[in-house]
Structure 1
Amino acid sequence: MRHRFPRLSRLGASLALALTASIANLRADDMTPRQQRQPCGSPAALDDGWVTASPESVGMDSERLCGIAARLSLRSSEVHSVVVARHGRLVFEQYFSGIDQPWGQPEGRTEFTATTKHDMRSATKSVTALLVGIAIDRKLIASANEPVVKFFPEHHQVKSAGWDAITLHHLLTMSSGIKWDETLPWTDPNNDEPHLAFDADPIGYVLAKPIAAPPDTLWTYNGGGTDLLGNIIEQVSGKSLEAFAREVLFEPLGITDFEWKTYKNGKIAAASGLRLRPRDAAKIGQLVLDHGRWKEQQIVPAEWMDQSIAPHFQAVGYFGGTLFYGHQWWVGRSFAAGKEIRWAGAFGWGGQRIIAVPDLDLVMMTTAAQYGQPKEGLAAMDILTNIIIPAVRDAH
């Protein structure tokens, strides 16, 4: 037919091209001018305190950042969000749909956006440590060298021998030496963590734990110590942990939409219960870079912020033993662009990561649902090392 009626064939082709162009024009007309020129990962304007900018304006390669989604797809990562800030400006954010296990809610698929809150899980510990520093700065607590038992006289009868030597510093650095194990299955009665959620007196449970080693000699990951710190803050402030955090940390950061969940026993989960928008969580990372300042306000004392990300212990047995531990903050490094890059991070189960890279003045925040996966959090560190850090085009 094409050979017999060449003019009809050419006419049909012309009509098809015209129809395709018309559809494309209609689609373009349906888009707002901003959508038509919106580059990959361009941050939304939410009036939440962040100044937004293009990656190029802060010395980063936007094309390289746009490869994040493809890189994540290689690992079937179940990452829900990636947020990047540099030089105090938000330059990239990307959100994905996925199966989530939000605290206290049934598992289900969620379409994540810039305004969707996400569980922070144990990244909450890093926030609680900042609140301790603020409480010390406000003279509510004398110092991190205060003995823990001073704040719990009503538990004198249950505390194990050796607790008198344990200070807030030991809880902050997870070097208290108490016998504690969170590595067992959640249903195992020997897993200490569920006791924080279900025991009528979780404080008594923690203080009754035997001492396995003298303080400052053994590092053991321990959410029970963090819950003690949260309770101490409530005692000295006369407020709930959530109310104190709102007043001294979140409101100054312009964080208005957050949750701090409680356990089944009604106690606030100081070690794991925080839910934040990823953009707001990234502000915590910016505090690290700016030595506790946000905009023109000193929110966390500079000395405390710097001490929090200084290595105090080798985190033996975690993530291959390559990490150090500060005041409830992880300290590590990536090998990128032919050199080692230092960073500090708040880590939460399932792939929640707030990473501050001081030498590059860079923040990366990710949320995910890699719960129970043997390499949870790997995807976040992969894109940090292989895409985000190499996307930096200058050295400062």
Structure 2
Amino acid sequence: MGNMYSLRPTALDELDYRIRQVKIDACLVLRNRRLVYRHYRKPEFEREPHKVNSVTKSVLSLLIGIALKRGELPSLGALLSDFVDGVPPDKRAITLEHLLSMSPGMEWKEAGAWGSLPPPGEHEADWIRFVLDAKMTDPPGKKMIYNSGCSHLLSAVLQKATGMTASAYAGRHLFAPLGIDDWDWPSDRQGISIGGFGLKLRPADLLKIGQLLLAGGCWQGTSSFQGSGSRRPPFPACPPRAGTVCTGIIGGSTPTAPSKRPVRASCSRKASRDNF
């Protein structure tokens, strides 16, 4: 990232103090290709894969980009109904881009809307059908509403297009090139990798994905991921932040703090559910 920004001498000490006030399992900070801070609440957390919750969505969007680059998906304008059976007539205009931008026009409540109770969809035998049965409230593309159901539909699309679950596809085309060899990605009752949450990664491996994104798809001198969505992942649009990018808070949904320092951070904590 270069040396145009300085890091205050006390910055890492302040970070360490704050992290130790809460139950952060692991935190890694990389600056100028050098690991400048490492924290593990317990020694075993360095090797233990942690549930990344909604970072799962980010990984899935990269897989969609890879499938597009490889020609296994035609375009972001492809219709959901081309890959998923039984799409109701009122949802047949929904495209992959609508799902990636979480703007399919469906009525949706995330986990937080149900208090401490599991959202109804988790009790359903067929999660895809549960999502497709949601009421339409807007035309596709009009409004973004955070929706883990969109990600699960994308996982089904990827599986249909490639003949592989998202977990297996990630293992071959994303994790293996990055040297990631230990992960867990559960599936629903139909054998579809859960699109919106559930992926488990080791902290150092989450940092690798952050490095890949910041480098625009380059990894260890190669550009094998360029053009696969890693430079501009089709995530929901958010206001731009300067400098620092945090690759994610494992186990919870925590916004990235604004910063002017080119630091790459990967933090892990046990936290609330973020799913449907």
TM range (shorter): 0.7 to 0.9
Which residue does 2:95 correspond to in 1?
A: 167
Please state if 1:87 is matched with 2:87: no
For 1:328 and 1:300, the matched residues in 2 are separated by 21
Q: Which runs of 5+ in 1 are unaligned?
A: 1-55, 98-110, 309-325, 334-340, 373-396
Q: Any residues of structure 2 matched to 1:100-119 within 5 Å, and which?
A: 112-119=44-51
Which residue does 1:286 correspond to in 2?
A: 211
Instruction: After TM superposition, give the deviation of residue 211 of structure 1 in Å.
Output: 1.1
Q: Is the 8 A contact 1:351 1:366 kept in 2?
A: no
**Structure ID, larger Rg:** 1
Which residue does 2:52 correspond to in 1?
A: 120
CA-atom RMSD, angstroms?
3.1
Instruction: After TM superposition, give the deviation of residue 342 of structure 1 in Å.
Output: 4.8
Percent identity, aligned pairs only, is 29
SS at match of 1:252: helix
Which residue does 1:184 correspond to in 2?
A: 113
Which residue does 1:66 correspond to in 2?
A: 13
Match of 1:247 among 153, 156, 172: 172
Would the alpha carbon gap of residues 170 and 199 (structure 1) be closer, same or farther in structure 2, given more than 3 Å must change? same
SS at match of 2:63: helix
Would the alpha carbon gap of residues 331 and 112 (structure 1) be closer, same or farther in structure 2, given more than 3 Å must change? farther
Would the alpha carbon gap of residues 303 and 172 (structure 1) be closer, same or farther in structure 2, given more than 3 Å must change? same
Please state if 1:130 is matched with 2:62: yes
Supply the AA of the counterpart residue of 1:199: E
For 2:251 and 2:32, the matched residues in 1 are separated by 28
Structure number with the bigger relative contact order (C-alpha 8 A, sep ≥ 6) is 2
Range moving further from structure 2, 360-369 or 132-141: 360-369
Q: Is the 8 A contact 2:250 2:267 kept in 1?
A: no
For 1:224 and 1:274, the matched residues in 2 are separated by 15
Q: Deviation string for 1:337-360 (max 9, x for gaps)?
A: xxxx25555556744669699975
For 2:75 and 2:162, the matched residues in 1 are separated by 15
For 1:146 and 1:264, the matched residues in 2 are separated by 26
Which residue does 2:270 correspond to in 1?
A: 369
Match of 2:235 among 319, 327, 337: 327
For 2:32 and 2:247, the matched residues in 1 are separated by 20
Q: Which runs of 5+ in 2 are unaligned?
A: none
Which residue does 1:47 correspond to in 2?
A: none
Please state if 1:256 is matched with 2:203: no
Larger strand percent: 1
Q: Is the 8 A contact 1:355 1:363 kept in 2?
A: no
Which residue does 2:145 correspond to in 1?
A: 220
For 1:359 and 1:287, the matched residues in 2 are separated by 20
Instruction: After TM superposition, give the deviation of residue 198 of structure 1 in Å.
Output: 3.2
Would the alpha carbon gap of residues 170 and 211 (structure 1) be closer, same or farther in structure 2, given more than 3 Å must change? same
Report the TM-score, using the length of structure 2 for normalisation: 0.85
Instruction: After TM superposition, give the deviation of residue 139 of structure 1 in Å.
Output: 0.4
Supply the AA of the counterpart residue of 2:60: T
For 1:117 and 1:359, the matched residues in 2 are separated by 30
Which residue does 1:50 correspond to in 2?
A: none
For 1:349 and 1:330, the matched residues in 2 are separated by 20
For 1:117 and 1:289, the matched residues in 2 are separated by 22
Which residue does 1:155 correspond to in 2?
A: 86
Which residue does 1:307 correspond to in 2?
A: 232
Matched residues, number: 270
Instruction: After TM superposition, give the deviation of residue 278 of structure 1 in Å.
Output: 0.6
Q: Is the 8 A contact 1:248 1:299 kept in 2?
A: no
